[in-house]
Amino acid sequence: METIRFDYLNTFLTVVRTRSFSLAAKELKTSQGSVSHHIAALETYFDAELFKRGANGVEVTEAGATLKDAAERILLEATEAKAKISTAKHTLAGVIRIVASTIPEEHIIPGLIAEFKKQYPDVKFKIKAQDSLTSFASLQANDADFAAVGTMRGFEEKFDFLQIGEEHLVLITACNHPLADRKSIKLSETTKFPFINREETSGTRLEIERLMANNKIPQSSVRAAFELGSTESVVTAVSEGRGVSIISSIAAGKAHAAGLVKVVAIAEAKDTRKLYMSRPKKALLKHSEAFWEFCKKYKFKDRVIACQKE
């Protein structure tokens, strides 16, 4: 028994409309023999006569009328399915997994994703906050597609990097701290006060240690009070007067706008610290490659909106 084909159904509907095998062949640009073969195949499949000859040409039988309704639905649904599949092929969709250290995760990634989704609304994101070194480990283990980090030291050859923002290090103090009204201090002055650190694997912590080493300030001179796992918790501790800390100017600016801390420039911290999006040195899925290309053009703008005081 021959299988039903879409072109058989199309031939059948053309014969129904033209009421002629020869006119159907002409419209379909095929031979009358091919039209007859298609109709014969359908009649064999359904075991029913589909047409009968009349005075004005061929007319559908009762079985033919039943097939006509079904054939129209089948071809319409097939056309719609093809259109949807074609659209899906040209529409980016999928999930992008990003691991991110504190500053990129809290201050850059939200705006970056929002701008990307204006162009590609069907792409979804899964974001996981981790320190920089753990983020690199996740990227290396293929547990993430991208890592947004505040350092690339030690990983320059292992991954590809794009700059997605920049900042510099500043000192934050409680609002009533002795240093709160200073515009600038020397790095060595921070060692006179209890210091609240990030964890050892934090990108910010690594940059602070590099800054101190470059200025010949030994780590043993730092009066470390305790370590905390996020910039937000550091800001909270400082605002409560538990010590001073050095954090990203981006995070510090928002905390200052909220009235939580005072920000003091560090004389030796003139260099900006770059923030990066990193990826494995291999081809990624189409939607991930599109995100990488978008990151190349993205320009971070720090949008701090301070509420008016009543």
| CA gap 193, 244 in Å, rounded | 7
| pLDDT over 80 at 145, yes or no | yes
Percent of the chain exceeding pLDDT 90 equals 62
Looking at residue 54, its pLDDT comes to 81
| pLDDT over 80 at 252, yes or no | yes
Q: What would the pLDDT profile of 26-61 be if each residue is shown by its tens digit?
A: 999 999 999 999 999 999 999 999 999 887 889 999
Angle, CA of 5, 10 and 14, to the nearest 5°? 150
- The distance of Cα 275 from the centroid of its chain, to the nearest Å, equals 17
Looking at residue 166, its pLDDT comes to 86
| The two structure tokens encoding residue 269 | 């911290």
Asked whether 54 and 30 are in contact (CB, 8 A), the reply is no
| CA gap 290, 274 in Å, rounded | 22
Bigger pLDDT: 261 vs 80: 261
DSSP 8-state secondary structure symbol assigned to residue 244: B
Give the largest Cα separation in the chain, rounded: 110
| pLDDT over 80 at 234, yes or no | yes
| pLDDT over 90 at 7, yes or no | yes
Amino acid at 248: S
Looking at residue 307, its pLDDT comes to 46
Amino acid at 174: A
| CA gap 216, 186 in Å, rounded | 13
Query: Which of 56-60, 96-100, 217-221, 301-305 has the largest mean confidence?
Result: 96-100
| CA gap 83, 81 in Å, rounded | 5
Looking at residue 310, its pLDDT comes to 46
| Mean pLDDT estimate for the chain | 89
Looking at residue 305, its pLDDT comes to 46
DSSP 8-state secondary structure symbol assigned to residue 122: T
Classify residue 214 as exposed, middle or buried by CB count within 10 Å of its CB (0-12, 13-18, 19+): exposed
Helical packing angle, 6-18 and 32-46, nearest 10°: 110
| CA gap 107, 129 in Å, rounded | 12
Of 145, 138, 104, the closest CA to residue 123 belongs to 145
User: Binning pLDDT at 50, 70 and 90, where does residue 245 land?
Assistant: very high
Looking at residue 231, its pLDDT comes to 87
Bigger pLDDT: 288 vs 89: 288
Place of tokens 């703008």: 301
| CA gap 134, 129 in Å, rounded | 10
Strands 169-173, 94-100: pairing is: unpaired
| CA gap 150, 165 in Å, rounded | 9
Looking at residue 148, its pLDDT comes to 94
Looking at residue 154, its pLDDT comes to 84
Q: What would the pLDDT profile of 156-183 be if each residue is shown by its tens digit?
A: 889 999 999 888 899 999 999 999 999 9
Handedness of CA 174, 176, 178, 179 (dihedral sign): positive
User: Binning pLDDT at 50, 70 and 90, where does residue 89 land?
Assistant: low
Amino acid at 18: T
User: Binning pLDDT at 50, 70 and 90, where does residue 1 land?
Assistant: very low
Asked whether 89 and 215 are in contact (CB, 8 A), the reply is no
Mean pLDDT of 132-150: 92
| CA gap 287, 163 in Å, rounded | 20
| pLDDT over 50 at 198, yes or no | yes
Mean pLDDT of 4-10: 91
Question: Which region among 81-95, 101-115, 197-211 has the lowest average model confidence (pLDDT)?
Answer: 81-95
Domains and CATH numbers, the chain: 6-89 (1.10.10.10), 94-166+274-297 (3.40.190.10), 169-266 (3.40.190.10)
Percent of the chain exceeding pLDDT 70 equals 95
| pLDDT over 80 at 86, yes or no | no
